[in-house]
Amino acid sequence: MKLHMRGMFAATVIVALILLVSVHVACAYLFGVKRILYRIDSRFSPQVQHEIVAFFDAQLHSGNSVNGQFFGQAQQHFPYIKTIVAQRVAPDVLHVEVTAQQPLLALNQTALITDGGYIVPKDFFVASCTKGLHTVSYPGLGQGVFQAHQGLASCASLLAYDICKRYSVTWHHDVEAWLCDKTQPQFAIVCSAATLPKSCLLTYCNHLKSELEVQGNFQAQRKKQWVVDIRFDKQMVMSCKKGEADGKVIC
């Protein structure tokens, strides 16, 4: 009797599992996504837009689910995407909207850094989106798509919206950046990502420049460059680059 009951219980479990699997397969077939409607950010170049669509279509045609987990994979594959928003517009139709990160600066005229901290080739975005960007010289710039060093990423907004308006910037690395005054190329500020100057310090440096100008230190025939290094704690060092630099501490 016990053996008979166990056999019936096992058979019931198997039938239930088969029914569950059948229902799951039927639902996937009836209510699964069969078509995707796209709205890709027009700031992306046509080539990038095509690659994003192709990536989604490949997932759809492979029979795999187009869900939140896949959207995460898509953002890893295209790290310069800011958001992906999906909405069912019919039982088997998905509307997908893809938004780009905002380019902040051009780097060496060949690349961009976005507000998400990624460096990408400049041609990933349309020309109308990059035309007015300030350019930072970056001698150590690599190729391809990669995450910027933390220092440059954290400074990109301040560089884009303030400093690059007044200074030509050369970013050697996160502990050495040169800000060369656009109105007086013989005057420069050296800083790091951690000491990138805010407006009050820039005002003081501009005051130093004015004093040097009044003293006649920017005469073209002298071929000097005055440099204010602000990377020190509670002090600045100003030096004149003419053969061996002589410097003094300014409190």
Which stretches does DSSP call E strand in the chain? Answer: 35-40, 81-90, 93-100, 103-107, 111-114, 118-121, 135-136, 146-147, 167-173, 176-181, 187-191, 225-232, 235-241, 246-250
The CATH fold assigned to 33-100 is: Ubiquitin-like (UB roll) (3.10.20)
Ranges of each domain in the chain: 33-100, 175-251
Confidence band of 93 (pLDDT split at 50, 70, 90):
very high
Amino acid present at 5: M
The per-residue pLDDT for range 132-144, each reduced to its tens digit, is 999 999 998 999 9
Residues 38 and 55: their CA atoms lie apart, in Å, by 12
Residues 64 and 66: their CA atoms lie apart, in Å, by 7
Structure tokens given for 117: 């901290």
The per-residue pLDDT for range 43-90, each reduced to its tens digit, is 999 999 999 999 999 988 887 788 888 899 999 999 999 999 999 989
User: Is the separation of the CB atoms in 183 and 205 below 8 Å?
Assistant: no
Please say if the pLDDT value at position 223 is more than 80.
Answer: no
Please say if the pLDDT value at position 14 is more than 70.
Answer: no
